[in-house]
Amino acid sequence: MIFSKIIETPIGKMLACSVDEGICLLEYYDNPKLEFKLNKLADELNDSVAEQSNNAIELLENQLGEYFEGNRKAFSVPLHLVGTDFQQKVWNYLLTIGYGKTITYKEQALAMGDIKSIRAVATANGANKIPILVPCHRVVGSKGSLTGYSGGLWRKEFLLDLESHQYKIFNGQA
């Protein structure tokens, strides 16, 4: 069974989904593609979605609250990344980008070993099923421009501003 629950956040409602292995989806509830993404996830996992929470979702809800309050820089909730091998490699790389830091798509492609894969890397970032926890919002355009974010650029800007401000506080700069 795929467990699911709507979680309230300062940037809107999010639908959290989890299986026994961990969180497998965290999507903005106002995303017009939400139903498609949910159906695709159910197909990929060969399971059905139930409107019922579980321990991973409850932990996620608590940790998201702490994150938005500025009291959490890293998440410990278990994740279950559902995607191709390449997508999982890209998403695992995203997990290495530090809180309050940003990199460019070009830097990500280079770090993953192939500058020519920049479009494929950007596409895989866009296919991330667990934003915030798998921090695709920390990847920006070549001149620091905000580009591409499934939740909308205003949310990406909010998250980067939150982390940038909190990063300064955590490092005694504010």
Burial (CB count <10 Å: 0-12, 13-18, 19+), residue 144:
exposed
Q: Distance between CA 23 and CA 8 in Å, rounded?
A: 16
φ and ψ at residue 139, rounded to 5 degrees: -105, 125
Amino acid at residue number 165 = H
Helix, strand and coil percent figures for the chain, each rounded to 5: 45, 15, 40
Pairing of strands 49-50, 2-7: parallel
Q: Which are the catalytic amino acids?
A: 136
